[in-house]
C-alpha cells in the first residue's frame, strides 16, 4: 500500500489525466488524483495523491498557485494560447515601462472572463465543446485574487511574467487582458507551474525519470507523506485509544478551543482531518493507513 504524494514535473503535450494514469499504473494503486489540472501545453508542478492521500486533494486544489508565463504580443487567438486560430492582430509591441505601469491594475482582487476554450459548463455543456462547434460562448466574469504579478524579462515580441494567484485564476485570460490593457493583442506562448499549494518545483521529478526507475524500492524515495499537503494546517497529537474512536467516526473530548480544521496525529502518524468545536474533536476525513509511503 502506498499513501502519499508524488510531485511530477508534467511534460509538454500531455494531459494531466494521462500523467495520473501512468503514475497509477507505475505504483500499482487503486486510487490516485492530481492537485489541479494543467493544460497539455503547460509544464511544471503536478502533485499526484496516491491511496489515502487522495482525501487531502481539496487542500491542494484550494491552495495558491505560482506560474511563470510568456505573453506573445501581436496576435489574439481563439484559445488564448498558441493552439488556437488567429482572430485579431496588432502591430504594437509594448515597452518595459508601459508593462510595469499597468501591472498594479492586475494585482489584488480582479475580475476576469474565463477563456472560451475552458472546461466550465454552460447549460450542461463544456464551454470548449460549444466553442469547437462554432456556437457562441458567453461566460460570466468572475472574481479571482492575484497575490503578486511581476515582469521577469522583456523580449522583442514577448514578455515573461511570474504570478502568484488564487484557485480558479485563468492565466490564459490574464495574458489576454494584460495585452488588451497595453493596447495590443496577446496570447500565452509558454506556461509553467512553479508551485501548487505546499508543493514546489524543487519537489518535482520528471515523468520520464520515474518511468525509467520502474517499480522498485528506489521509486518509494520520491513519495512524500500525505501530511506534506497539509503543511499550513495546525497539527494536533492525541493518544492511540482516542485515535481509534476518531477513525470510527466518534467525536472525542479535548481541551477547549475552536479551530476550523486540524490534522490529527497519533504517534506522529496522520489519523484524520477534523474540526474542533466547544472542546470536541469532530472527524471530517479519516485516514486508513496500513503503511505510509515515505
Catalytic residue among 9, 39, 81, 228: 39
Angle at 140 between CA 134 and CA 141, to 5 degrees: 125
Cell of 142: 468572475
Q: Which residues contact 193 (CB under 8 A, 6 or more apart)?
A: 10, 36, 38, 42, 43, 44, 45, 46, 65, 66, 67
Q: Rounded to whole angstroms, what are the CA distances from 178 to 149, 185, 188, 206, 260?
A: 11, 9, 11, 31, 37
- Catalytic-residue membership of 39: yes
Coil, strand or helix at 138: coil
Distance in angstroms (rounded) separating the CA atoms of residues 168 and 267: 37
Is residue 68 within 8 Å of residue 165, measured between CB atoms?
Answer: no
User: What stretch of H or E contains 158?
Assistant: strand 158-165
The single-letter DSSP state of residue 224 is B
Cell of 84: 488556437
Is residue 25 within 8 Å of residue 6, measured between CB atoms?
Answer: no
Q: Rounded to whole angstroms, what are the CA distances from 241 to 237, 244, 247?
A: 12, 5, 10
For 223-247, b/e burial (b = at least 16 CB within 10 A) is bbbbbbbbeebeebebeeebbeebb
Active site residues: 39
Amino acid at each position: 500500500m502506498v499513501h502519499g504524494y508524488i510531485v511530477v514535473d508534467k511534460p509538454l503535450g500531455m494531459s494531466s489525466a494521462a500523467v495520473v494514469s501512468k503514475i497509477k499504473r507505475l505504483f500499482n494503486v487503486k486510487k490516485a488524483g492530481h492537485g489541479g489540472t494543467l493544460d497539455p501545453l503547460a509544464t511544471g508542478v503536478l502533485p499526484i495523491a496516491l491511496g489515502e492521500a487522495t482525501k487531502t486533494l481539496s487542500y491542494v486544489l484550494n491552495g495558491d498557485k505560482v506560474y511563470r508565463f510568456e505573453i506573445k504580443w501581436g496576435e489574439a487567438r481563439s484559445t488564448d494560447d498558441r493552439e488556437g486560430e488567429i482572430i485579431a492582430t496588432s502591430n504594437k509591441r509594448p515597452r518595459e515601462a508601459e508593462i510595469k505601469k499597468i501591472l498594479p491594475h492586475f494585482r489584488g482582487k480582479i475580475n476576469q472572463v474565463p477563456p472560451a476554450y475552458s472546461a466550465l459548463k454552460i447549460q450542461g455543456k463544456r464551454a470548449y465543446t460549444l466553442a469547437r462547434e462554432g456556437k457562441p460562448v458567453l461566460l460570466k466574469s468572475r472574481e479571482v485574487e492575484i497575490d503578486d504579478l511581476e515582469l521577469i524579462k522583456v523580449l522583442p515580441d514577448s514578455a515573461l511574467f511570474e504570478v502568484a494567484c488564487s484557485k480558479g485564476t485563468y492565466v490564459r485570460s490574464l495574458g489576454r487582458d494584460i495585452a488588451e490593457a497595453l493596447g495590443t493583442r496577446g496570447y500565452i506562448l509558454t506556461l509553467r507551474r512553479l508551485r501548487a499549494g505546499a508543493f514546489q518545483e524543487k519537489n518535482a521529478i520528471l515523468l520520464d525519470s520515474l518511468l525509467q526507475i520502474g517499480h522498485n524500492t528506489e521509486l518509494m524515495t520520491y513519495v512524500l507523506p500525505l501530511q506534506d499537503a497539509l503543511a499550513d494546517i495546525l497539527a494536533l497529537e492525541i493518544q492511540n485509544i482516542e485515535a481509534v474512536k476518531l477513525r470510527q467516526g466518534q467525536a472525542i473530548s479535548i481541551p477547549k478551543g475552536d479551530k476550523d480544521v486540524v490534522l490529527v496525529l497519533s504517534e506522529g502518524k496522520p489519523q484524520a482531518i477534523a474540526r474542533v468545536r466547544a472542546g470536541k474533536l469532530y472527524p471530517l476525513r479519516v485516514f486508513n493507513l496500513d503503511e505510509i509511503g515515505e
